[in-house]
Amino acid sequence: MAGDGEFERDRSYITTRITADGRDGYPVEPGRYRLIVARACPWANRAVIVRRLMGLEGVLSMGVAGPVHDERSWTFHLDPGGRDPVLGIERLQEAYFRRQPGYPRGITVPAIVDVPTGEVVTNDFERITLDLGSQWTAHQRDGAPDLYPQRWRDEIDDVADKLYRDVNNGVYQCGFATGQKAYDKAYRALWERLDWLENRLGGRRYLVGDTITEADVRLFPTLVRFDAVYHGHFKCNRQKLTELPALWAYARDLFQTPGFGDTVDFEQIKAHYYVVHSDINPTGVVPRGPDTSNWLSPHGRERFGGRPFGEGTPPAPPPSAERVPPLGHAAGERGA
Percent of the chain exceeding pLDDT 90 equals 92
**Using CA atoms, how far apart are residues 46 and 236, in angstroms rounded to an integer?**
22
Q: Identify the CATH number of the domain in which residue 241 sits.
A: 1.20.1050.10
In this structure, are 75 and 196 located in the same domain? no
- 28: in domain: no
- 17: in domain: no
Q: Which of 139, 171, 188 is the last residue of a domain?
A: 139
267 closest CA partner among 326, 198, 205, 310? 326
CB atoms within 10 A of CB 299: 18
Cβ contacts of residue 84 below 8 Å, gap of 6+?
A: 34, 36, 63, 76, 335
- Total domains in the chain come to 2
**Using CA atoms, how far apart are residues 176 and 279, in angstroms rounded to an integer?**
9
In this structure, are 132 and 250 located in the same domain? no
Query: pLDDT tens digit string along 273-291?
Result: 999 999 999 999 999 999 9
Q: Are 121 and 33 in contact (CB under 8 A)?
A: yes
> Which among 13, 103, 164, 172 is annotated as catalytic?
172
Counting every residue, how long is the chain?
Answer: 336
Q: Which of 83, 112, 139 is the last residue of a domain?
A: 139
Which residue range forms the structural domain that includes residue 289?
A: 150-322
pLDDT of residue 266: 98
In this structure, are 222 and 258 located in the same domain? yes
pLDDT of residue 328: 67
> What is the chain's mean pLDDT, rounded?
95
CB atoms within 10 A of CB 157: 14
What burial class does residue 276 get, using C-beta atoms within 10 Å of its C-beta: 0-12 exposed, 13-18 middle, 19+ buried? middle
Q: Are 87 and 63 in contact (CB under 8 A)?
A: yes
Q: In what order do the strands lie in the sheet with 119-122?
A: 61-65, 33-38, 111-114, 119-122
pLDDT of residue 334: 39
What residues in the chain have per-residue pLDDT under 50? 1, 330-336
pLDDT of residue 2: 55
> Which among 33, 41, 206, 250 is annotated as catalytic?
41
**Using CA atoms, how far apart are residues 163 and 313, in angstroms rounded to an integer?**
27
Q: Identify the CATH number of the domain in which residue 121 sits.
A: 3.40.30.10
- 68: in domain: yes
**pTM (2 d.p.):** 0.95
- Cis peptide bond prior to 110, omega within 30° of 0: yes
In this structure, are 118 and 169 located in the same domain? no
Q: Are 112 and 122 in contact (CB under 8 A)?
A: yes
pLDDT of residue 5: 82
DSSP 8-state class, residue 64: E
**Using CA atoms, how far apart are residues 325 and 32, in angstroms rounded to an integer?**
28
Q: Are 206 and 306 in contact (CB under 8 A)?
A: yes
- Cis peptide bond prior to 317, omega within 30° of 0: no
In this structure, are 289 and 163 located in the same domain? yes
Is 172 an annotated catalytic residue?
A: yes
pLDDT of residue 327: 86
- 10: in domain: no
In this structure, are 239 and 126 located in the same domain? no
Percent of the chain exceeding pLDDT 70 equals 96
212 closest CA partner among 170, 256, 244, 246? 256
In this structure, are 100 and 195 located in the same domain? no
In this structure, are 204 and 169 located in the same domain? yes
- 332: in domain: no
Is 236 an annotated catalytic residue?
A: no
In this structure, are 106 and 228 located in the same domain? no
Q: Please state whether beta strands 119-122 and 111-114 pair in parallel, antiparallel, or not at all (unpaired).
A: antiparallel
- 129: in domain: yes
**Using CA atoms, how far apart are residues 202 and 63, in angstroms rounded to an integer?**
38
H helices within 135-287, ranges in order?
153-163, 170-175, 180-200, 214-225, 245-255, 266-271
- 327: in domain: no
In this structure, are 223 and 184 located in the same domain? yes
In this structure, are 86 and 108 located in the same domain? yes
Q: Which of 116, 139, 162 is the last residue of a domain?
A: 139
In this structure, are 173 and 251 located in the same domain? yes
pLDDT of residue 7: 83
In what helix (H) or strand (E) does residue 119 lie, and over which residues does it extend?
A: strand 119-122
- 179: in domain: yes
